[in-house]
Amino acid sequence: MTTPRHEDFIIEARWMVPIEPAGIILENHAIFIQKGRIADIFAIDIGRARHPDMARVQLPHHVLMPGLVNTHAHTAMSLLRGIADDLPLMRWLREAIWPRESKHVSDSFVYEGTLLGGAEMLRGGITCVNDLYFYPDASARAYDALGMRAQVGMTVIDFPTPYASDVDDYLRKGLAARDAWVDSSRIGFFFAPHAPYTVSDASLERIRDLAEQLDANIHIHLHETANEISDAIQRDGIRPLARLQALGLLGPNLSIAHAVHMTDNELRTLADARVGVAHNPTSNMKLASGIAPVARMVATGIHVGLGTDGAASNNRLDMFQEMRHAALLAKVSTGDAAVLPAHQVLRMATLDGAHILGLQDQIGSIEIGKFADLCAISVNNAFHQPYFDPASHLIYVVGREEVTDVWVDGIRRVQDGTLLHPHNKELMRISGMWQNSLKA
């Protein structure tokens, strides 16, 4: 594990979106960062008087905001980007993805795929990711090398893969990886049963009990497609959410990905149980899975975060794209242009995402005492003008290409639009090598 080197310094920004308090923009403000955390927030002139000799980063044409939180990703699948487009979910999995995974997935595949995808995310302002895939220790090593914050899934499926032979093997390997990273301040672990259609009742009950014993979170794909639900009713006699409820899995330590096809009663069930939802608008569109009822979720009191899903079904790990798609899909699907305004979507991509991961007291907003996970976006471009509302611009105008600087734990990871580690040549080597292998 890498040992971070913290330095005390000040970031001065033309605009700041702190997320909390909600709905406000701070102009000409600064953050004092000390030992990797936010120690103070003040007007720029006050900061200069108070700390005249302190090292400072000046962002005169930028918006500074919390680092983005990606609540659902399969990052190593960056190596499968574009390998199987224009297919519905189950054909995509059975005909294109699962056969290639059975042949190619390994420790090195996951490490290098996660390094590639993690670098893409970090360059685009994503500082924390909830990632579930095989070989969790390889994922953790890649995030540690990048200096990112990550929650890594201990995947469980009821059939063998190159990673594990059975449920016991999945759990044993996942828990061993968790134990190896127990002292990390940036890398955490959660249980990741793939989906109700790939995990039995007995396995889900084991995961429920282990999660309770270890005070760990659970994250699962749920109600992603209409076919998933109709197949479940035919097979089990009940809808997948009702099955999880009967097994005692619903609670604040559970979050679900997608939740596209939900009744009003099911949304109330999620809200009452304080279950969070990872909304993946681009992946849902690309696989024609449907439009999740996010406006109703929010109105019901459910915490909703945003996710990219994997690059094999998106094909970008781009939270600016997810924010824009989330806002626009909610408006067009409800016929209400007022739903999911810009500040609310920014909150979904930061503090609400952190809440789903149980990290709301550590990241997701610019508040004193929290980790200095931050990103800066430049609006010093004629094509971004005129400029009236920073929150509106972040959702509807700029993209990840305008991210100039990123900090995790107060350590700079992107500077002036350049990822500081690893070098682009290394990433190109990784992608080229695996492209040749996967083609063959």
pLDDT tens string 358-407:
999 999 999 999 999 999 999 998 888 888 899 999 999 999 999 999 99
pLDDT of 169 > 90? The answer is yes
Rounded Cα distance, 131 and 110, in Å:
11
Q: Among positive and negative, which fits the CA dihedral 252, 374, 317, 103?
A: negative
Phi and psi at residue 315, in whole multiples of 5°? -115, 30
Q: Give the mean model confidence (pLDDT) for residues 128-145.
A: 98
Percent of the chain with pLDDT over 70: 99
Q: Give the mean model confidence (pLDDT) for residues 271-298.
A: 97
Q: Give the mean model confidence (pLDDT) for residues 63-71.
A: 98
> Please, what is the Cα angle at 259 between 336 and 91, to 5 degrees?
115
Three-state DSSP class for residue 39 = strand
Q: Give the mean model confidence (pLDDT) for residues 122-129.
A: 98
pLDDT of 106 > 80? The answer is yes
Per-residue tokens: 99: 């056969």
Under a CB-based contact definition with an 8 Å cutoff, are residues 268 and 250 in contact? Answer: no
| Identity of the residue numbered 440 | A
pLDDT of 84 > 90? The answer is no
What pLDDT shows up at residue 92?
A: 81
Angle, helices 136-146/107-123, rounded to nearest 10 degrees? 40
Q: For residue 131, which of 169, 179, 177 has the smallest C-alpha distance?
A: 177
In angstroms, how far apart are the furthest CA atoms of the chain?
A: 70
Per-residue tokens: 366: 């610019």
Peptide bond into 4 cis (omega under 30): no
> Please, what is the Cα angle at 103 between 88 and 226, to 5 degrees?
20
Q: Are strands 37-43 and 26-34 parallel, antiparallel or unpaired?
A: antiparallel
pLDDT of 108 > 80? The answer is yes
Per-residue tokens: 199: 């995990």
Q: Length of the chain, please?
A: 440
pLDDT of 34 > 80? The answer is yes
Using 50, 70 and 90 to split pLDDT, how confident is the model at 236?
Answer: very high
pTM of the model: 0.96
Among 4-18, 30-44, 226-240, the range scoring the smallest mean pLDDT is: 4-18
Q: Among positive and negative, which fits the CA dihedral 207, 213, 219, 225?
A: positive
Where do the domains of the chain lie, and which CATH numbers do they carry?
Answer: 9-67+372-419 (2.30.40.10), 68-356 (3.20.20.140)
Using 50, 70 and 90 to split pLDDT, how confident is the model at 344?
Answer: very high
pLDDT of 1 > 80? The answer is no
CA-based end-to-end distance of the chain: 34
Rounded Cα distance, 131 and 151, in Å:
6
Burial of 27: CB neighbours in 10 Å, binned 0-12, 13-18, 19+: exposed
pLDDT of 5 > 70? The answer is no
Residue 222 CA, chain-centre distance (Å), reads 17
294-328 pLDDT, tens digit per residue, is 999 999 999 999 999 999 889 999 999 999 999 99
Range list of H helices, 70-126: 89-91, 98-104, 107-123
Using 50, 70 and 90 to split pLDDT, how confident is the model at 431?
Answer: confident
| Average pLDDT of the chain to the nearest whole number | 95
> Please, what is the Cα angle at 258 between 255 and 262, to 5 degrees?
95
